[in-house]
Amino acid sequence: MQSGSHLLTILAIGLAVVLVVVRRLRSLLQTRRLRPELLWMRPAIFAAVSAVALYQSPPNALIDILILCVAAALGAVVGWRKAKMMTIGISPQTGELTVKGSPWAAAIVVGLLALRVLARSALSAEASAWHLNLGLILDTMIILVAAMQMTQAAEMYVRGRTMLREATV
């Protein structure tokens, strides 16, 4: 009986995750208002989470630091690319900035989520056998996403401000 309720719980969580992802992807593909002055919020939250994670379990070896640096660099490249794929414009009715995500930007989000799910399921069973540091793996994912968010926000801010400046000249 317990295995049936466990399966039901997993299915319910899976369905909830799918619904949230579908809703998020739909919002990514719709044109919405872009407020450059608020772009700092999400990166600030991720930076705080990253700082807390690294404070609680700082990297022990040079290789750990190098892995985190590679994750930050990879996250920065992915964030910059994701921001470049977004269409930023100025609404002719309101004169405000608008942004619309691309299907490829949405695919990056889905890909990162899939990578996380696959890594979690594979590593939870085999981490001790492979002598992996799960804390480092989690910190790496946090750093990657934080760098991605920071770079994406910075690129969108620069593009948005440039468009507004050119529109007023």
Q: Which domain holds residue 63?
A: 31-168
Amino acid at position 139, single letter:
D
Domain membership flag for residue 21: no
Residue 98, beta-bridge partner list: 33, 89
Contacts of 148 (CB under 8 A, 6+ apart): 75, 76, 78, 79, 82
Domain membership flag for residue 22: no
Of the candidates 156, 166, 159, 140, the one whose C-alpha atom is nearest the C-alpha of residue 66 is 140
The pLDDT profile of the chain, 169 residues, written as one tens digit per residue, is 456 677 777 777 778 877 877 787 777 778 888 898 899 998 999 899 889 988 988 888 899 999 999 999 999 999 999 899 889 999 888 888 999 887 777 777 777 777 766 766 666 666 666 666 777 888 888 899 899 999 999 999 999 999 988 887 6
Domain membership flag for residue 20: no
- Number of domains observed in the structure of the chain: 1
Of the candidates 146, 143, 149, the one whose C-alpha atom is nearest the C-alpha of residue 59 is 143
